[in-house]
Amino acid sequence: MIRQIVSAGVIFSLVLAGTAGAAPGCGAPPPKYGPAGAPYAVPLWQSHEYLQAARNPAPDFWKLITHYVGQDGSLSCSVAAVTMVLNAIARTREDLRASDANFQQAGVVEKVKAAHWKERVTAGGWNGRVGLTLAELEEAVRGALATYGITDWTTSLRSFPAADAAALSELRSILSANEASDRDFVLLHFLQDGLTADPGGPYAHISPVGAYDNASDRVLVLDVDREYYEPYWVGLDRLLIALNTPTAAYGRGGLLILRRTAR
Ligand SMILES: [Ca+2]
């Protein structure tokens, strides 16, 4: 019924279009973001006070929203997410020249050869597998940085094997530090249906962190599945579960952190 691709026994959401609802005759589709009255996520259009407060510069948000794109293809969430970050890093500068084109998804995945990226986001996949694990995503990002000569940024990964209080505290610490600086960005490799009410999962998915509001302990996800979603806020505890919950095909997700190394 919904965004799924079955390939060699693998289901990967990344993300196919469909109707997030029940089959005909089975009643109305469920609400998009969770139970009525107690949604899992709140769309940005309904809650934007954080970004309207002068005390919250939200440097990542403004650089990423400038280049917010939806995934080109059903499997291409990684491409859209990485393209957004490449543009946030290299195309939100004051010294841009007229000849500086923005990064485009098709060009990025064509040019970056690491991790068999193009094959992995194409039907049929690489060795029968579509989509990327968190480690493969890092390989693709490192390949992208190298391909485009972005030498002063590096990557690291963080997974959370247990969704416990210590992990929640560490996740909060990482996102707080990330929120304060324009010298780093965070990509989420997460279970999308863990943040929404989409009943057809599990859907492993990749999107950038737009912001983190410490006061409400919510994360703004710039979901690149724009056919069905828009930016939405989710509570940190729910995000942790979506990062922690493994899938048979892709294991456990987590954070991919890009950080500028040069002073
Ligand atoms: Ca940051």
Would you say residue 30 lies in a domain?
Answer: no
If you ran DSSP here, which 8-state letter would residue 29 be given?
P
Using CA atoms, how far apart are residues 101 and 116, in angstroms rounded to an integer?
A: 25
107 C-alpha to ligand 1 centroid (Å) = 25
Using CA atoms, how far apart are residues 135 and 146, in angstroms rounded to an integer?
A: 17
- Its domain, for residue 138, covers 5-21+39-260
What do you get for the CA distance between the two ends of the chain, in Å? 50
159 C-alpha to ligand 1 centroid (Å) = 18
Would you say residue 15 lies in a domain?
Answer: yes
pLDDT of residue 198: 87
Would you say residue 122 lies in a domain?
Answer: yes
60 C-alpha to ligand 1 centroid (Å) = 5
209 C-alpha to ligand 1 centroid (Å) = 9
**What's the CATH number where 206 sits?**
3.90.70.30
Q: Where are the extended beta strands (E) located within 76-230?
A: 153-158, 184-191, 204-213, 218-221
Would you say residue 31 lies in a domain?
Answer: no
183 C-alpha to ligand 1 centroid (Å) = 6
64 C-alpha to ligand 1 centroid (Å) = 10
178 C-alpha to ligand 1 centroid (Å) = 4
230 C-alpha to ligand 1 centroid (Å) = 20
Profile the chain (263 residues) by mean pLDDT over runs of 10 residues.
38 41 60 92 98 98 98 96 98 96 98 98 95 98 98 98 97 98 98 89 96 98 97 98 95 98 82
61 C-alpha to ligand 1 centroid (Å) = 9
Would you say residue 92 lies in a domain?
Answer: yes
Using CA atoms, how far apart are residues 71 and 51, in angstroms rounded to an integer?
A: 25
CB-side exposure of 121: number of CA atoms within 13 Å? 30
110 C-alpha to ligand 1 centroid (Å) = 27
**Of 195, 226, 245, 199, which is closest to residue 15 (Cα–Cα)?**
226
Query: Quick count: other Cβ atoms within 10 Å of Cβ 55?
Result: 5
- Tracing tokens 């729910």 back to the chain, one arrives at 238
Would you say residue 13 lies in a domain?
Answer: yes
User: What are residue 196's DSSP bridge partners?
Assistant: none
Question: 70 with 227: CB under 8 angstroms?
Answer: yes
Would you say residue 154 lies in a domain?
Answer: yes
pLDDT of residue 26: 59
Sheet architecture: strand order including 184-191? 41-43, 232-235, 218-221, 204-213, 184-191, 254-260, 153-158
Would you say residue 34 lies in a domain?
Answer: no
142 burial (CB, 10 Å; 0-12 / 13-18 / 19+) is middle
Q: How many domains does the chain have?
A: 1
**Of 91, 39, 49, which is closest to residue 211 (Cα–Cα)?**
49
